[in-house]
Amino acid sequence: MSALFSPLQLRAVTLPNRIGIPPMCQYSARDGGLATDWHLQHYGSRAVGGAGLVIVEATAVLPEGRISRGDLGLWDDAQIEPLARVARLIASQGGVPAIQIGHAGRKASVGLGWEAQQTLTAEEGGWTTVAPSAVAFEGYAEPRALDREGISRVVQAFVAAVRRARQAGFQAVEIHAAHGYLLHQFLSPLSNRRDDDYGGSFTNRIRLTRKVVAAVRAEWPDTLPLLIRLSATDWVDGGWDAEQTVELCRLLKTDGVDLVDVSTGGLVASAKIPAGPGFQMPFATRIRAEAGLLTAAVGLITEPAQAEAILTEGHADLVLVGREILRNPFWPLQAAPALGVEVAWPKQYLRARPSGR
């Protein structure tokens, strides 16, 4: 029996296998955060391809929390039904539909993913960004430091967004606290220079993330899993690091988080990241062992045997395949025979099944 093709139980939700699609921005929303036919075919094709968990890209909880003008949103009821189409299609193919919700903070208001990554001017359709402190991301505009009222507004926006995610039919939610976006900005002393109870000490810097988690968990049904994406290190001395991540994860477990999606970096543009196959996996391994939380490994995972080994060797509980599955939506179906496993194919595609049956 292949570990990669064994089910994973998360509360009352069962993933049919341990292959997940990580959230990857498509920058293709229209009219202020509405999902389009592009999203329908993009996520639908990956579900048809056999992924057990499909996590829809970073979806902003507030308009000013968008990375770009092409980001999805869940700050308005009009955004529910376009996303519901996506969730229904994923579920109809046997996958579990999930969605990542977040706020970009000081990294908001930039061009689409294939455009220049710099802060847009008002004439270009940009907006004022916010952050824990008035400290700019390298090369970006200086953000406005959030006051207490602004922080409260962010927490309530996460709650409202998760309520809409449930109405849209998603079966799992992931809070985005990685890649240098707002919650990560509060976590790291490199971007958080506050001297109130949201800055300074470790306890203060993690306060907003824990508040968001607690508020979302209270709104999200007990039967459904709550995930969080964390950058386990800034890859810079004096920044957020693995030791702090492990300690935070111990607390998040008591707060009701079910699985940690373990990534790294994103806070410092000039950080030297030793990217290579499975380069982030050791962080997932450590969190799993020391915090007692289920983890997902992500980062240049491309081969079925590589993914299988991550699970069988106890490094993680779920494997997220990103760029490789952009290249090949049917990677899960093709990974199965490589591991000696027979899985169901869509009836419409049976003629293409390698066995010929």
Measuring CA to CA, how many Å separate 275 from each of 85, 157, 235, 264, 279?
A: 36, 34, 11, 10, 6
Alpha carbon distance 357, 351 (integer Å)? 7
**Catalytic residue list contains 43:** no
Alpha carbon distance 115, 151 (integer Å)? 30
Pairing relation of β-strands 130-131 and 144-145?
parallel
- H or E segment and range at residue 296: strand 294-298
Count other C-beta atoms under 10 Å from residue 342's C-beta: 11
Measuring CA to CA, how many Å separate 201 from each of 44, 192, 198, 276, 282?
A: 44, 10, 8, 33, 26
> Exactly one of 27, 43, 140, 181 is catalytic; which is it?
181
Point out which residues pair with 68 in neighbouring strands. 110
Alpha carbon distance 60, 264 (integer Å)? 20
Tokens of 171: 């079966």
Contact 192, 198 (CB under 8 A): yes
Burial class (CB in 10 A: 0-12, 13-18, 19+), 135: middle
**Would you name the residues annotated as active-site residues?**
181
